[in-house]
Amino acid sequence: MRNSTHQPWTRASRLALASVAALSATPSLATELRDPHLNFIPRTDEERARIAAVTASPEKFSAPQRFEELSAGAATVRVRTDADAFSQPSANISFEQELDFKVGNGLFKKIWVSSPSSTLASDGLGPLYNARSCQRCHIKDGRGHTPNGPDDNAVSMFLRVSIPGNPEDAPAKIEDYIATLPDPIYGGQMQDFALAGRPAEYRLSITYEEDPIELSDGEIASLRRPTYHAADLGYGRLHPDAMLSPRIAPQMIGLGLLESIPVEDLLARADPDDEDGDGISGRPNIVWSLEFGEPMMGRFGHKAGMPTVMEQSSAAFSGDIGISSPLYPAPFGDCTELQTNCIDAPHGDSDVRGFEIDQIGMDLVAFYSRNLGVPARRETDDPQVLRGKEVFHTSGCASCHAPVYVTHRMPDRTEHSFQLIWPYTDLLLHDMGEGLADNRPEARATGREWRTPPLWGIGLTERVSGHTQFLHDGRARSLLEAVLWHGGEAQAARDTVVSMPKADRDALIQFLESL
């Protein structure tokens, strides 16, 4: 989001010269950063110019843009009226690929059990964990939620934890990397469940204070300000310098398409030194890729801490469920050496079976995750929605929530290849102000920075997940509250929303609900 005194989407005009802009954005790394897909056809200058024209900001808002209703291009799926709206395969996968999608779905839903077990294909849970399946956090492939009252557990929500590291703990090839280490006892993530006979690491405790906000035309909104506490610690005290950060499971749709946006297009939108003076200084998170063994641009996670769907999925199996895989081979998951009853527990690795989920299984889970279809837009020609779209652009929201891209040409991934998509994100890090700060860095992301989340499908959250909780920790109970939490680089745009006529504010929300 940006100040309304600036013209929206100034970065879009630079896409025709994306490679030059990318070099200026991160001079030491731009020439080295690779895309997640190795097999793609490089663009010509002529093709870049055509893409820049197709993805340019609209000049008029009296009618929808061409193909705007197809959020994911040819991969777009029809809008279901039930809670399975996010659980459909991309519309353009082949008949043969549908089997891989269904088997991957089965692994995504699989309920893991403790070892040893007669169900050898499903044992290896924990010993410490947050959920027994991927689906338990990403319910219906949608957004997680905060605990519903003091007696509810925190399934689909947990606390990340780390302590400050030393410069030598940072990857040598990544500039501005903020070194951190896992907590010596609790590791990198707090698990609130454990196998029988072992204590869980903690219980997540949240308290809220209401903060009323006066808007124009007499409207009053209220923001709930959370305080988090790791209660009932099962293994002793946290490190005195421990940094805790809450996380809600995000929706799963469109991940393969986000992975297929050319890195040069994303870097072209970066302006870390705010050279154009618009107050927006998005920058890429650069992380070390276990999959490729080199620095890559982070795309996934609330702070863009993961570069690929495969790595994100493998890390979740390890940290959330305690399941080993080729990228995360520890059979005890996130347990530390000081948690000896966890390290010494039976596990599902074996000489015959190998990892608790092997590479074939991970490939199927990653295929499923990459190909959860994005539902079509609704009401794109509604006058109120069109007015809300205009407000979205003129208020500056599109500066970070960049609407549209064209993916790479990829002969081996035709379902993601050369698609015009509308995810509404730049996947870059932005300073969102003190109100949203978790004060915990992640790779190059500071304690005030967050990745711009994609907005596609956000209007279907209540249909899929049964709630309207937004932001990284679910504190916002509506889309309006989510907007009002914006600060830092988005402060001017947020203030514009506060002061605009209520009719325009309502139109903006209706536009967001159409995505």
The 3-class SS string of 404-452 reads CEECCECCCCCCCCCCEECCCCCCCEEECCCCCCCCCCECCECCCEEEC
Q: Which DSSP letter does residue 477 get? A: S
**For 440-466, what is the mean pLDDT?**
98
User: Three-state secondary structure along 203-248?
Assistant: EEEEEEEEEEEECHHHCEEEEEEEEEEEECCCCCCCCCCCEEEEEE
Question: Picking from 126-135, 272-281, 282-291, which range would have the lowest pLDDT averaged per residue?
Answer: 272-281
CA atoms lying within 13 Å on the CB side of residue 311: 20
Residue 350 is predicted with a pLDDT of: 77
d(CA 499, CA 507): 14
pLDDT, tens digit, 9 for 90 and up, residues 36-87: 987 999 999 999 999 999 999 999 999 999 999 999 999 999 999 999 999 9
Strand pairing class (286-289; 294-297): antiparallel
Tokens standing for residue 8: 């929206």
pLDDT in tens, 176-209: 999 999 999 999 999 999 999 999 999 999 999 9
Residue 324: inside a domain, yes or no? yes
Q: Which of 7-11, 160-164, 312-316 has the lowest mean pLDDT?
A: 7-11
> Rg of the Cα trace of the chain?
22
Report the pLDDT averaged over residues 364-375. Answer: 98
Query: Does the pLDDT value for residue 11 go beyond 70?
Result: no
**Please, which residues have CB within 8 angstroms of residue 66's CB and are 6 or more apart in sequence?**
none
pLDDT above 50 for 2: no
Closest to 493 in 3D by CA, of 423, 403, 433, 428: 433
Instruction: With respect to residue 195, please indicate whether it lies within any of the assigned structural domains.
Output: no
In this predicted structure, the answer to whether residue 25 has a pLDDT above a threshold of 90 is no
pLDDT above 60 for 392: yes
pLDDT at 149: 72
How confident is the model at residue 5, as a pLDDT?
34
Task: Tell me if 76 is assigned to some domain.
Answer: yes
What is the model's pLDDT at position 22?
39
Query: With 80 as the cut, is the pLDDT of residue 102 above it?
Result: yes
Asked whether residue 470 is assigned to any structural domain, the reply reads: yes
23 confidence band (pLDDT: 50, 70, 90)? very low
Residue 152 has a pLDDT of: 74
Instruction: Note the pLDDT tens digit of each residue in 218-246.
Output: 999 999 999 999 999 999 999 999 999 99
Range of the domain at 318: 1-145+251-515
Using the predicted structure, report yes or no on whether residue 405 has a pLDDT greater than 50. yes
State how far the Cα of 189 lies from the Cα of 182, in Å rounded to an integer: 8
Residue 457 lies in a domain: yes
**What does the pLDDT read at residue 488?**
97
* E-assigned strand segments in 232-332: 243-248, 286-289, 294-297
Percentage above 70 pLDDT, the chain: 93
Q: How far is CA 101 from CA 79, 89, 200, 292, 463, in A?
A: 19, 7, 34, 24, 23
Strands 420-421 and 429-431: unpaired
Q: Are 185 and 239 in contact (CB under 8 A)?
A: yes
Q: Looking at per-residue confidence, does 277 or 442 come out higher? A: 442
pLDDT digits (tens, 9 = 90+) for 297-316: 999 999 999 999 999 999 99
pLDDT at 29: 54
Q: How confident is residue 349, by pLDDT bands cut at 50, 70 and 90?
A: confident
Residue 15's pLDDT is what? 37
**Do the domain assignments include residue 106?**
yes
Domain count, the chain: 1
Cβ(182)–Cβ(331) under 8 Å?
no
- pLDDT tier at 216, thresholds 50, 70, 90: very high
Give pLDDT, residue 7: 34
pLDDT of residue 250: 97
Mean pLDDT (the chain) is: 92
Is the whole model's pTM more than 0.75, yes or no? yes
Query: Is pLDDT above 80 for 466?
Result: yes
**Residue 160 within any structural domain of the chain:** no
Does 16 score more than 50 pLDDT?
no
Helical (H) or strand (E) element with 156: none
pLDDT-derived band at 352, boundaries 50, 70, 90: low
- Residue 41 counted as domain residue: yes
Q: How confident is the model at residue 252 (pLDDT cuts 50, 70, 90)?
A: very high
Interatomic CA distance for residues 324 and 71, integer angstroms: 35
Q: Across the strands, what pairs with 123?
A: 113
Q: Is the pLDDT of residue 429 over 50?
A: yes
Q: Residue 419 above 50 pLDDT?
A: yes
pLDDT, tens digit (0-9, with 9 covering 90-100), for 112-161: 999 988 777 889 999 999 999 999 999 999 999 998 876 677 789 999 99
In this structure, what are the phi and psi dihedrals at residue 388, rounded to the nearest 5 degrees? -65, -35
